[in-house]
Amino acid sequence: MSKLASQFMSIFSGLERAYGIYEIVGTKHTTKGIKKDGRGRTLQEPLSLVRWQQHLQGEVSLGVIPLKDDETCQWGCIDVDEYPVDMKALQKLIKDMQLPLVPCMTKSGGVHLFLFTEEPIEAIKFRDKLEEIAAAMGRTKDEIFPKQYQWSKQIAQNKQTGNWLNMPYFGGRDTTRYAINGSGEALTPSQFIKLVNERAISEHELDRLKPVKKNKHGEVPKDSFWDHAPPCLVHMKLNGIPEGTRNNALFSYGVFFKKVYPEDEGWREKLQEVNKTACKKALSHAELNTLMNSLEKSDYRYKCTTPPLVNHCQSGVCVTRRYGIDPSEKEVKLSGLRKYLTDPPLWHLDIEGQTLVLETRQLHNFSMFQQRCMEVLNECPPDVKKREWVVRLNTLLQGVQEIEVPPDMTKAGLLKDAILEFCKNTESSARVAVLAGAVYRNEDSKPHEWWFRGRDLVKYIREYKGMKAIREAEIFNQLKEMEAQTVSKYIDKGAGATSLWVMETPDLAALKVTAKDFKINKPKKDWEDD
């Protein structure tokens, strides 16, 4: 098992300082079918061989982040989130395009289409190629890993993690997450390793990979006329227009040809040619004439948001083409939402492969989101309607990854540390010192106790620790969590009772607080306890 675990750890080499685990809790209904539902957590600790062994033994479901610290990766994936998947058609498409992909069934019943390289490659190049492959396969709505291609400069690198992907072969041979060969047969873990090694490609081979259907000689058709066209139209010219989408496709071809031939009727002849060659069943002469007459009335936009164009969309490439979309029409691709469990939480969202750090209000409010993009990315996304933004957010939230943070990074953790620091750094052996803002250490009690006034603690936290927005209720709740009690004590002779907080002193040797120069008022009287 250790040898097999080592092999898996090698081929799925990724970020070493963090990883994910996934726990299945049931099933849920989605628009794409019934899928298994669970909770994923990101652990910020080194990924070990032991974790891989536990994964293959079916004890802990493991997730790996493909982006390495040096912004390279050597594996990626197209996550086919469809239930059930037509594996026969998918395998045929992979074969026709001669793609070196390794399909694996997923925990949810979908398919991960893995691409492996022989050595780590710049992540942006890896991701761009996977996006090109996905567009050629008509799967632009599927998620692509790595979701990030670089680490954000907003935050320290060692504090940031990327999105992880659930690994295959959870449970080893006894698994539903198995790879499939070209014949549709399930592979054992060892057979999977062998197939990966056979299909892994070099960087040079990655650069030359063209995801289009080849002719009978295995060659890619060339046509310089289409060099300046939207990629989706080029793809359909080479591979055909999918059934049921002729009108949308031909309308967009008409928009393209009108851009190429703005002064004459040449666009009509070109559109008639595509109708004959790219459609399995061409539109009738009357139908095509009706469509062309409609195009005559105005200069329309491409039908980018509807099939078949949306299925093969490469907007980042399209905006660079002479007859592609206008940059203002480009839809900003959002993915990889992560929620850091601080208090309040911080959100990391990927925009075109770059990470944006957001507060909840900046993520919820689109106007504030635009401002944040301008501050960090030097780009302002085009306006969207509020309802549309909510829909996009809910889609992102369905796949959000929660990332645990050390307790001292949460508000509760910071508050607890501040309370302990206050007690440790201001403690006194004189009971009267409480009246001057200090903490009295009562060593007569067993266990020992700290006595202090609530207002002195609040002042310390707000003025000295700089937590000015902290509310009294939050401090009160934290004191209760630490099992502190409120009592009335007679401190000074001749004075009334003083309301105090009393809390057992913890093991001082275990406290990670240091002495600070915190000034308190000197007591007016210096007297000994009776």
Distance, first Cα to last Cα, the chain: 71
Tell me: do 423 and 378 sit in the same domain.
Answer: no
More confident position, 243 or 493: 243
pLDDT at 528: 40
By mean pLDDT, which of 79-88, 92-101, 503-512 is the weakest? 503-512
**Is 529 among the domain residues?**
no
Read off the amino acid at residue 200: A
Q: What is the mean pLDDT of the chain?
A: 85
* Residue 428, in any domain of the structure: yes
| DSSP state for residue 320 in the 8-state scheme | T
Same domain for 381 and 341 = yes
Q: Phi-psi region for residue 434, left (φ > 0), alpha (ψ -120 to 50) or beta?
A: alpha
Residues 193 and 305 in one domain: no
- What pLDDT, on the 0 to 100 scale, is given for residue 526? 44
pLDDT digits (tens, 9 = 90+) for 315-361: 878 887 888 887 766 677 788 898 988 878 889 998 876 788 899 99
For residue 447, what is the domain's CATH number? 1.10.10
Residue 438, domain member (yes or no): yes
Q: Considering only CA atoms, which of 162, 168, 217 is closest in space to residue 189?
A: 168
Report pLDDT for 156: 47
**Are 243 and 159 in the same domain?**
no
CATH number at residue 158: 3.90.920
**pLDDT for res 324:** 86
* Residue 252 is assigned to a structural domain of this protein: yes
127, part of any domain: no
Q: What is the DSSP letter of 308?
A: T
- Token representation of residue 317: 């490439």
Are residues 457 and 346 part of one domain? no
Residues 324 and 336 in one domain: no
Number of domains comprising the chain:
4
> What are the phi and psi torsion angles at 264 (to 5°)?
-140, -175
Tell whether omega for the bond before 100 is within 30 degrees of 0, i.e. cis. no
The pLDDT of 387-413, averaged and rounded, is 83
Is residue 129 one of the residues assigned to a domain?
Answer: no
Residues 197, 79 share a domain? yes
Which whole number is the average pLDDT over 28-53? 76
Same domain, 76 and 183: yes
| Cα–Cα distance, 336 to 143 (Å, whole number) | 9
Write down the pTM of the prediction: 0.63
CB 421 within 8 A of CB 516: yes
Task: Judge if 163 and 290 occupy the same domain.
Answer: no
Angle between helices 285-296 and 246-260 (to 10 degrees): 50
519 part of a folded domain: no
* Predicted local confidence at residue 150, as pLDDT: 85
Q: Which domain holds residue 445?
A: 408-510
On whether residue 366 sits in a domain, the answer given is yes
Residue that is last in its domain, among 306, 328, 350: 328
If one compares 530 and 162, the residue with the highest pLDDT of the two is: 162
Residue at which a domain ends, from 328, 359, 375: 328
422 & 400 share domain: no
Same domain, residue pair 190 and 64: yes
Is 302 or 517 the better-scoring residue by pLDDT?
302
Beta bridge partners of 43: 19
Task: Say whether both 237 and 178 belong to one domain.
Answer: no
pLDDT band of residue 223 (cuts 50, 70, 90) is low
Least confident of 67-81, 83-97, 163-177: 83-97
Question: 475-529 pLDDT, tens per residue?
Answer: 999 999 999 999 998 887 767 789 999 999 986 555 555 545 555 655 544 434 4
